[in-house]
Amino acid sequence: MIDKILEEKKRRYDELHTLLADPKVIANMPEYQGYARELSGLTPMVNEYSKYLKLANDIKDLDKVLSDKTHDKDFFVLAEEEKHKLEAQFKSLESALEEMILEKESGSNRNVILEIRAGTGGLEASLFAADLLRMYSKYAGKKGWTVELIDSSVTEKGGYKEVIVAISGKGAYGALKFESGTHRVQRVPDTEASGRIHTSAATVAVLPDVEDVEIDIKPEELRIDVFRAGGKGGQSVNRTDSAVRLTHIPTGIVVTCQDERSQLKNKSKALKVLKARLYDMKKNEQDSKIAQSRRAQVGSGDRSEKIRTYNFPDRRITDHRIGFSVHNMEEVLEGELDELIGALKKEERELRLKAASLR
């Protein structure tokens, strides 16, 4: 199943070596850096593929030896033992290469920009958005990832109309990419005197962080506005025009950041979010043109798609994309997301390998 994919990766690896020796490419630093980064990403896979091919040839050679009946019995026993040993190594390496292929195609080791917005449900929806941020922050902490606040709009009860954070760490995007979509909660709000169950929602967007060479924003495409950061008063209110609003003129995308006291830092954070949104837009456009790619995803990634329901009365969380439920809601909201994400990863693995084998 994976041989065809690996041969394509090896051909691209050889092509990149040729490109990096081209004087025209060397003279174009952004292009050179992009090719060098791609080559660096392919090198571990190609090295393992070379071991994979050698093992396959060694097993074929042993098969030829074993087909020769002129050897004595002891020789055959040793050859059979060696063959079983090589076959076990081959199977293990094949599984490792499958994981490397899936990791490479999904960009799982990227950092992420996580955006959470309150949806239907008013104040209760904003409180649920805060619960989701807490859940992801605790999950990140368990994984050893870092969480950095970029921007937020807080309600009077401590909820969020909107909150944007950057999560950095190995495997962040590979795990959190499944969280994009609408999360629905069914529970009795603290503000509900009669004890009736309400249904509210919040939307989550998980955007892969991108490098400068992947998304090029020309200065004339960007409008930058600065203003004084808002706040509830007191010493914490910024008294200088440090908040930044970036508008990408071609797409109309607007990003604001006022978390830092430094205008330069706010601009840098806002630019990071803008690039992530532009990359996500570009990726979605590409995916919509490739039916195979769409079928290889768990869910469409559409923010409006209802992906999960958190049912408090039954302590049940159901992921609607794969029909999978867990009954440890308290633990999940404390960051124990591995069971849910593990089930989603398993489903996507099967879909991706199947789709890759059909190409």
pLDDT, one tens digit per residue, over 223-249 is 999 887 765 444 444 455 788 999 999
CATH number of the domain encompassing residue 309: 3.30.70.1660
pLDDT tens for residues 311-327?
999 999 999 999 999 99
Residue-number span of the structural domain to which 180 is assigned: 112-209+300-358
Rounded CA gap, 193 and 81, in Å?
73
Q: What's the whole-number mean pLDDT along residues 57-62?
A: 93
Q: Are 191 and 124 in contact (CB under 8 A)?
A: yes
- More confident: 339 or 286: 339
pLDDT at residue 356, as a whole number: 56
Distance CA 345, CA 359 (A): 21
CATH of the domain at 254: 3.30.160.20
High-pLDDT (> 90) share of the chain, %: 53
Q: Among 79, 106, 133, give the residue marking a domain's end.
A: 106
127 shares its domain with 234:
no
Note whether 88 and 62 are same-domain residues: yes
Tokens of 122: 């008013």
322 lies in the same domain as 205: yes
Q: How many helices (H) and strands (E) does the chain have?
A: 10, 11
Residue 329 and residue 245 share a domain: no
Residue 189 within any structural domain of the chain? yes
Q: How confident is the model at residue 290 (pLDDT cuts 50, 70, 90)?
A: very low
Of 106, 131, 162, which marks where a domain is finished?
A: 106
- pLDDT for the residue 237: 45
> What's the rounded Cα separation, in Å, for the pair 359 and 354?
9
Rounded Cα–Cα distance for residues 112 and 96 (Å): 25
In a domain, 214, yes or no: no
CB within 8 A of 298, min separation 6: which ones? 178, 321, 322, 344, 347, 348, 351
- My answer on whether 234 and 308 are in the same domain is no
**Number of domain units in the chain:** 3
Predicted confidence (pLDDT) at residue 6 exceeds the cutoff of 60: yes
31 and 101 in one domain? yes
pLDDT at residue 287 greater than cutoff 80: no
In a domain, 293, yes or no: no
Q: Is residue 245 part of a domain?
A: yes
Give a yes or no: residue 166 inside a domain. Answer: yes
Q: Are strands 243-248 and 253-257 parallel, antiparallel or unpaired?
A: antiparallel
Residue 289 reports pLDDT greater than 60 = no
Locate 348 and state its tokens: 């996507």
Asked if 164 and 215 count as a contact pair (C-beta separation under 8 A), the reply is no
Quick one: 175 and 98 in the same domain? no
Q: Give 41's pLDDT tier (boundaries 50, 70, 90).
A: confident
354 or 236: which leads in pLDDT? 354
Comparing 98 with 358, which gets the higher pLDDT? 98
Structural domain includes residue 335: yes
Q: Are the C-beta atoms of residues 115 and 152 closer than 8 Å to each other?
A: no
How confident is the prediction for the chain on average, in pLDDT? Answer: 85
Residue 295 inside a domain? The answer is no
Q: Are residues 323 and 186 in the same domain?
A: yes
Cα separation, 35 vs 224, whole angstroms = 31
- pLDDT at residue 53 tops 90: yes
Q: Residues 322, 347: contact at Cβ < 8 Å?
A: yes
Chain-centroid distance of CA 218 in Å reads 26
- Given a contact cutoff of 8 angstroms between Cβ atoms, the answer to whether 201 and 119 are in contact is yes
Report residue 252 as tokens. Answer: 């109309």
At residue 11, the 3 state secondary structure works out as helix
| 292 pLDDT higher than 50 | no
Residue ending a domain, choose from 233, 251, 286: 286
Provide the 3-class DSSP secondary structure of residue 118. Answer: strand
Cα within 13 Å of Cα(13), Cβ side: 17
Question: Is the same domain home to 11 and 92?
Answer: yes
User: Does the structure show a pLDDT above 80 at 86?
Assistant: yes
Mean pLDDT of 239-261: 86
Could you tell me if 197 and 307 lie in one domain?
yes
> Confidence class of residue 87 from pLDDT cuts 50, 70 and 90?
very high
Residue 97 belongs to domain with CATH number: 1.20.58
Does residue 292 belong to any structural domain of this protein? no
